[in-house]
Copies of this chain bind each other. A is one copy, B any other.
């Protein structure tokens, strides 16, 4: 605790009024009318003394901490966490709240411990975030406090969640390629059976079909979502006699491997092969050559949406809360230089 801070009592003394009055003017209590002169006196005294209200005492009294918790599964290894946190923080700050950030490392026991610690500090609500889109089971302790999920859905009724619109992402990727004139496409999907894999494939296929592509004009293969996986898959795809003229990659890391495969095979990007990625991991998408056209994941926006929802539910906690809203947010496509008409 910082060294002895100045309290409302001292301000009252300095201004020659009661603490009640100080509280009134400093909080601008609606019904209370206080003489302009005393009001000014109080304010001056407060600034002169450098008064800062003790938030702990306020919270104890008002039963509201203006504090929320953000529990994430991993915060260190992905670049997404930062944007998500920032989104949450930006709206929190706009409501004079701040956010506790904790990372569980996928360990149930530390998760429990951390949630306990948050609850104990009377957080007004909790953001429960996943670093990759999935469905989760909500820790039971969260039942007692307003909660909203980020980048994850769950079956627990009445808890709001927000996830990326994977289908739209797949559609957008297809559109970019189709618009450039490609008619022989491939999609290197994640081997894992996760929402992102299903959704993106669905959207991609849908658009391809709509554009009149025949079944064998669209190959879908799976791979590990790292450069090695992308490389292997791309080698297979590109050595084929009727190779695709464009590849949509499940993510940017995988796309790095595709770049390498293309280079080794003497295929120029984008002249001989167009590529679209997913994630917009800045340092990779922007760092490889040529720059990778990709679909961005709306992490910041999800953070914002979720936090707004959270505050809505906190504020509405007194009244009955309605059914939980959910959202699928579309990420923008980031155009760089990896897409061109087929030659």
Hey, which bits of chain A sit against chain B, CB under 8 A? 1-3, 52-57, 59-60, 63-65, 67, 75-79, 81-83, 85-86, 89, 93, 96, 98-103, 110, 113-114, 116-122, 124, 144-145, 226-227, 231, 253, 256, 260, 263, 281-284, 286-289, 300, 317
Contacts and interface: CB of A to CB of B under 8 A. Distances in A.
B63 A60 contact: no
Contacts of A263: 263
Given A101-B85, A103-B85, A103-B86, A120 B54 contact: yes
Given A101-B99, A256-B287, A284-B287, A121 B86 contact: no
A103 B89 contact: yes
A27 B37 CA distance: 49
A52 B116 contact: yes
A117 B103 contact: no
B79 A1 contact: no
A216 to B, nearest CB: 31
Contacts of A283: 79, 253, 281, 283-284
A326 B242 CA distance: 63
A63 B98 CA distance: 20
A116 B283 CA distance: 34
